[in-house]
């Protein structure tokens, strides 16, 4: 420190500025953690992530990124910034761009909390479907993917007259049925919000004829949801510190949940790892990529944990490219791209 002080006194302001900038840069680089670190728990991980593992931040500067969706036909990644009520688009050519605003709240009354869209997906016709927090509904964008407009068609907004809280994540069954979760996170006062209509948090299915069925009302904080290849099993994340579980259910002939059990849990993990079971995706082989404490947890189809992708930022969700070779993560203010196989 004394040497640095002495050099300050004898160098010109221009040199001082360069020196100070260089020192600050060195400090920042030394304190910046790696974007992601691979932790192998089971040798089966090597079939999913190779030694060529690489992670990079491809977009940054968001309040809370969520709901990533890779659109293969357009070679673009869509994702929500929930507090900002915006959907962003990322392409390798242009980087990040605003894609749709507003995305989840179209009302005129100013409101706080997390009003934007959350989970995003494409329906069997290739149209964008959104979990809308602020408007408290499942909706479809009434425009082409090339020309997005904040004009939405309501798919479902209530169950037996009781308004949903804030649809969070969703998945389509191969037969066209839409499954979705409804935790309270989009309500301005969360579970204590006076506008909350139902005394539970629900998991629902929306049939092609528009009929809504309540499938589960005992999962305390249903969040991420995905269907295994073949359409016979469904996985649901519970973002509850007291019950941090991933639940797996079989689907009966009518698409209802049966034979539920715990697929895995985060109980007993390092308390310094931030996060809870949140968003998740399942690849064509049935491997599960699920956000949890410390980053992304990777399971095989039977629930055996294969490894983790540890990320310094709090990870909310993930998306897979069509060929399964690239994983995208929404991690707080950043979006990451990770090369897998």
Same domain, 27 and 50: no
Q: What's the chain's length in residues?
A: 341
The reported pLDDT for the residue numbered 53 is: 82
Same domain, 179 and 282: yes
CA 8 to chain centre: 48
For residue 241, what are the contacts with CB-CB under 8 A and spacing of at least 6?
A: 276
Q: Count how many domains the chain has.
A: 2
CA 112 to chain centre: 20
Same domain, 178 and 277: yes
Same domain, 24 and 38: no
The reported pLDDT for the residue numbered 52 is: 76
Same domain, 157 and 18: no
Q: Per the confidence metrics, is the pTM higher than 0.85?
A: yes
For the beta carbon of residue 179, count every other beta carbon within 10 angstroms.
23
The reported pLDDT for the residue numbered 34 is: 53
Same domain, 24 and 160: no
Same domain, 178 and 319: yes
pLDDT tens, N- to C-terminus, the chain (341 residues): 322 222 333 343 443 344 343 433 333 333 334 568 999 999 999 999 987 788 999 999 999 999 999 999 999 999 999 999 999 999 999 999 999 999 999 999 999 999 999 999 999 999 999 999 999 999 999 999 999 999 999 999 999 999 999 999 999 999 999 999 999 999 999 999 999 999 999 999 999 999 999 999 999 999 999 999 999 999 999 999 999 999 999 999 999 999 999 999 999 988 889 999 999 999 999 999 999 999 999 999 999 999 999 999 999 999 999 999 999 999 999 999 999 97
The reported pLDDT for the residue numbered 5 is: 28
Same domain, 115 and 137: yes
Looking from the CA of 97 toward its CB, the CA atoms found within 13 Å total 11
CA distance 320 to 298: 13
The reported pLDDT for the residue numbered 50 is: 81
Same domain, 244 and 193: yes
Domain span at 15: 1-32
Same domain, 123 and 110: yes
Contact 178, 103 (CB under 8 A): no
The reported pLDDT for the residue numbered 341 is: 78
Cis peptide leading into 128, omega within 30 of 0? Answer: no
The reported pLDDT for the residue numbered 6 is: 29
Same domain, 150 and 189: yes
């Amino acid at each position: 420190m004394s040497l640095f002080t002495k050099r300050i006194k004898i160098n010109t302001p221009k040199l001082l500025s360069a020196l100070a900038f260089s020192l600050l840069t060195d400090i920042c680089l030394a304190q910046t953690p790696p974007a992601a670190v691979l932790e192998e728990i089971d040798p089966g991980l090597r079939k999913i992530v190779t030694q060529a593992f690489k992670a990079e931040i491809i977009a940054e500067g968001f309040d809370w990124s969520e709901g990533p969706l890779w659109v293969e036909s357009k070679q673009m990644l869509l994702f929500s910034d929930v507090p900002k009520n915006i959907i962003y688009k990322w392409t390798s050519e242009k980087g990040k761009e605003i894609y749709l605003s507003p995305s989840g709240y179209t009302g005129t009354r100013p409101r706080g909390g997390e009003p934007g869209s959350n989970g995003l997906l494409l329906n069997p016709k290739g149209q964008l479907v959104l979990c809308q927090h602020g408007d408290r509904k499942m909706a479809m964008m009434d425009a082409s993917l090339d020309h997005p407009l904040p004009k939405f068609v309501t798919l479902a907004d209530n169950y037996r007259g009781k308004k949903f809280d804030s649809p969070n994540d969703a998945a389509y069954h191969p037969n066209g049925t839409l499954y979705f979760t409804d935790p309270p996170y989009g309500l301005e006062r969360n579970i204590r919000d006076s506008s909350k209509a139902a005394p539970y948090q629900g998991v629902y299915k929306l049939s092609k004829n528009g009929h809504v069925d309540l499938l589960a009302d005992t999962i305390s904080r249903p969040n991420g949801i995905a269907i295994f290849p073949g359409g016979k099993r469904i996985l649901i994340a519970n973002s509850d510190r007291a019950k941090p579980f991933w639940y797996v259910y079989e689907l009966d002939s009518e698409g209802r949940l049966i034979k539920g059990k715990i697929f895995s849990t985060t109980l007993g993990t390092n308390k310094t790892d931030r996060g809870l079971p949140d968003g998740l995706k399942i690849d064509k082989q049935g491997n599960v990529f699920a956000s949890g404490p410390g980053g992304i947890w990777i399971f095989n189809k039977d629930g055996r944990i294969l490894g983790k992708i540890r990320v310094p930022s709090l990870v909310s969700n993930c998306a897979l490219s069509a060929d399964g070779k690239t994983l995208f993560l929404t991690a707080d203010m950043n979006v990451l791209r990770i090369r897998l196989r």
